[in-house]
């Protein structure tokens, strides 16, 4: 705490106006004293000697004259070993410990240390006396789950530091000194296993920011093949309520080719949050065979926290992601849903009486959203390794309207757009990503020529389907009807997956390439069918064989048996490749 004190002069919802005497900073943490409790708050505007603060607790009972204490610290996250497997609220309180201390109906004003102060960690020194280090370089390591956790020179230190001493290999608690470093003026700094970092300030302790060119494989065929996401890139999943955003995030968390997953439930409805909290500890990590929670962090707010706390969740989660990126790890941050964060910004902007923008959202909302997504990226570190933060945010536009401000602001800054369709969701198609509306700026795992060929079939088939709604099947030529059947088959056997089937949900790159080539042979062939009835029966048989094939383990006996049946069925109608398809398959 500092000597700066203040007194409440106004209360407007969860915004409190405070007159203060001294020096304070934007984003500084303060505590409002009320009914024997200290309520955590953050300074969001300063006008002369009056500050507006957003309170991260319910403000019932606060009145003019109540005392306020300023800490001198910015809203920060504690960084150190022990973060993995935790479930935090937006202020980094461990929710299980909070429940033990306060009961399941959480009282306001109760805060718990983010990391266990008593637990000992096996420290192995890597720095030597005389080494010159800077912020973001490390003095040693400790094991944390399946990873080697680096003990950094704190990110907030400027300039170069000489290692004066390093602790021997052994077990140490979080606040034990494991190294002493000296700055250029001869001042000593103690390095412990943990330190704090302001959540609204990006971590920039790297040598170079790299272009996101490597694909982050999600094992979802529609994404990896047609709308890929780059490692260190950004993407958004807008869609109406109930369209499958949460299921898609769960599947991505489980199978994506990343080291660590951070789930930021920054305002999602209670049902989805409870589902996340109960299912994630039960999910089996396909990489290790253990619980997926061992490499996951979940951040979500309690129902006793006001809307403004959604903002804290967003920034805390991205700070933790940057911390693990600094260790040379690949991190996936899933924010669900940024619409409610934007609604929190709108609510606070209204209380601040700022001039509103479109649909009453603050005029600066776009820059806030852009700044958040800009904290994604792939970087090269001082030891030559690379790490990345990939950010995927869901958006919940009212009525599925993608023209609303939050969706449009997000589309301006992300590299891929996976738009969920109500029609596809209602038809029980998973994922419900609309292949016509969606797009990606990144390079995928499949040849772009093959992808382009499939897209051409898709668009032609959709056009024929639209025409058939007007003129009926009878008014459609056999050639057009075959295109329609091919598009339906592409959708059914490649775009759609069964998230509950361990094999179908986990489509490796090798299998995606193999399957698409097999499918492309059918899409790019002419068949000897006499009428539409024969064509429909034939493609229904092919489609079912392919779906059954998707459920068999790659290159297993069952896989090869079904593949032969597909090949025989293909040959039964004298399937002949067009010149274009033959050229693509040879490439």
Residue spans of beta strands (DSSP E) within 428-515? 439-440
Structural class in CATH, domain 82-114+207-440: alpha beta
pLDDT at position 375: 97
Annotated binding-site residue numbers for ATP: 239-246
Over the stretch 85-135, which tens digit does the pLDDT of each residue have? Answer: 999 988 999 988 888 877 767 788 889 999 999 999 999 999 999 999 999
| 371 three-class SS | helix
Residue 105's Cβ-count burial label (10 Å; 0-12, 13-18, 19+) is: exposed
- Candidates 273, 274, 291; CA nearest to 282 is 291
Q: What is the mean pLDDT of residues 36-52?
A: 95
* 239, pLDDT greater than 80: yes
Residue spans of beta strands (DSSP E) within 132-176? 132-134, 138-144, 147-152, 160-166, 170-172
Q: What is the mean pLDDT of residues 215-231?
A: 96
Positive or negative: CA dihedral 242, 246, 250, 256: positive
- Candidates 264, 326, 255; CA nearest to 292 is 255
* 61, pLDDT greater than 90: yes
Is pLDDT larger for residue 309 or for residue 342?
342
pLDDT at position 439: 97
Q: Which fold is adopted by the domain 121-193?
A: OB fold (Dihydrolipoamide Acetyltransferase, E2P) (2.40.50)
Average pLDDT of the residues of the chain: 92
Angle at 384 between CA 378 and CA 385, to 5 degrees: 50
What residues does 360 pair with on adjacent strands? none
pLDDT range class, residue 270, cuts 50, 70, 90 = low
pLDDT at position 399: 78
pLDDT range class, residue 269, cuts 50, 70, 90 = low
Residue ranges matching CATH 1.10.1140.10 in the chain: 448-586
* 271, pLDDT greater than 60: no
Annotated binding-site residue numbers: 239-246
Residue ranges matching CATH 3.40.50.300 in the chain: 82-114+207-440
Strands 76-79 and 37-47: unpaired
Over the stretch 427-481, which tens digit does the pLDDT of each residue have? Answer: 999 999 999 999 999 998 899 999 999 999 999 999 999 999 999 888 999 999 9
pLDDT at position 273: 67
Residue 524's H or E segment, with its range, is none
Over the stretch 550-583, which tens digit does the pLDDT of each residue have? Answer: 999 999 999 999 999 999 999 998 888 989 999 9
pLDDT at position 564: 96
Backbone φ and ψ of 345, nearest 5°? -60, -40
Is pLDDT larger for residue 82 or for residue 267?
82
Q: What is the mean pLDDT of residues 501-505?
A: 92
Architecture of domain 5-75: Beta Barrel (2.40)
Residue ranges matching CATH 2.40.30.20 in the chain: 5-75
Q: Which fold is adopted by the domain 448-586?
A: 1.10.1140
Residue ranges matching CATH 2.40.50.100 in the chain: 121-193
pLDDT at position 289: 76
440: which 2 tokens? 């990606």
Over the stretch 312-340, which tens digit does the pLDDT of each residue have? Answer: 899 999 999 999 999 999 999 999 888 88
pLDDT range class, residue 310, cuts 50, 70, 90 = confident
Over the stretch 167-214, which tens digit does the pLDDT of each residue have? Answer: 999 999 999 999 999 999 999 999 999 999 999 999 999 999 999 999
* 60, pLDDT greater than 80: yes
Distance CA 194, CA 176 (A): 9
Q: What is the mean pLDDT of residues 384-407?
A: 92
């Amino acid at each position: 705490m500092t000597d700066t004190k203040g007194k409440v002069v106004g209360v407007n919802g969860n915004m409190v106006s405070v007159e203060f005497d001294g020096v304070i900073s934007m984003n500084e943490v303060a505590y409002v004293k009320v009914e024997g409790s200290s309520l955590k708050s953050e300074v969001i505007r300063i006008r002369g000697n009056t500050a507006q603060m957003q309170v991260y607790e319910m403000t019932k009972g606060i009145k003019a004259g109540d005392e306020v204490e300023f800490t001198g610290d910015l809203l920060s996250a504690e960084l150190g070993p022990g973060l993995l497997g935790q479930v935090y609220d937006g202020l980094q309180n461990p929710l299980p410990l909070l429940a033990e201390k306060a009961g399941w109906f959480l009282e306001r004003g109760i805060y718990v240390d983010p990391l266990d102060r008593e637990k000992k960690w096996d420290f192995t020194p890597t720095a030597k006396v005389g080494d010159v280090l800077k912020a973001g370089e490390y003095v040693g390591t400790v094991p944390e789950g399946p990873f080697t956790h680096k003990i950094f020179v704190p990110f907030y230190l400027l300039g170069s530091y000489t290692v004066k001493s390093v602790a021997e290999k052994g077990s140490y608690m979080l606040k034990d000194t494991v190294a002493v470093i000296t700055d250029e003026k001869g001042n000593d700094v103690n390095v412990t296993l943990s330190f704090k970092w302001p959540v609204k300030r990006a971590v920039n302790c790297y040598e170079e920011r790299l272009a996101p060119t490597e694909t982050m494989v999600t094992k979802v065929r529609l994404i990896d093949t047609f709308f890929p996401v780059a490692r260190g890139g950004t993407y958004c999943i807008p869609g109406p309520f109930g369209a499958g955003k949460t299921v898609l995030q769960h599947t991505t968390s489980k199978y994506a080719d990343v080291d660590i997953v951070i789930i930021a439930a920054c305002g999602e409805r209670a049902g989805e949050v409870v589902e996340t909290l109960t299912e994630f500890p039960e999910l089996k990590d396909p990489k290790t065979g253990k619980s997926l929670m061992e490499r996951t962090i979940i951040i979500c707010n309690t129902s006793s926290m006001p809307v403004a706390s959604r903002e804290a969740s967003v920034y805390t989660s991205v700070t933790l992601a940057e911390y693990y990126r600094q260790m040379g790890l690949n991190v996936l941050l899933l924010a669900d849903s940024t619409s409610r964060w934007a609604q929190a910004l709108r609510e606070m902007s209204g209380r601040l009486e700022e001039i509103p923008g479109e649909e009453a959202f603050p005029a600066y909302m776009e820059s806030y959203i852009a700044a958040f997504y800009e904290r994604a990226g792939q970087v090269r570190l001082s030891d030559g390794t690379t790490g990345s933060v990939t950010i995927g945010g869901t958006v919940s536009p009212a009525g599925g309207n993608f023209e609303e401000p939050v969706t449009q602001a997000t589309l301006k800054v992300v590299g891929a757009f996976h738009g969920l369709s109500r029609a596809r969701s209602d038809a029980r198609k998973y994922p419900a990503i609309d292949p016509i509306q969606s797009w990606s700026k990144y390079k995928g795992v499949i040849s772009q020529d093959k992808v382009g060929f499939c897209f051409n079939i898709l668009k032609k088939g959709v056009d024929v389907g639209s025409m058939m709604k007007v003129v009926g099947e009878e008014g459609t030529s056999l050639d057009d009807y075959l295109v329609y059947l091919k598009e339906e088959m592409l959708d059914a056997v490649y775009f759609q997956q069964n998230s509950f089937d361990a094999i179908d949900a986990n489509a490796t790159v090798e299998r995606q390439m193999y399957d698409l080539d097999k499918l492309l042979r059918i899409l790019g062939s002419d068949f000897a069918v006499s009428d539409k009835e024969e064509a429909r029966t034939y493609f229904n048989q092919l489609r079912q064989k392919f779906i059954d094939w998707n459920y068999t383990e790659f290159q297993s006996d069952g896989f090869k048996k079904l593949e032969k049946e597909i090949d025989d069925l293909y040959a039964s109608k004298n399937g002949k490749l067009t010149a274009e398809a033959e050229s693509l398959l040879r490439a």
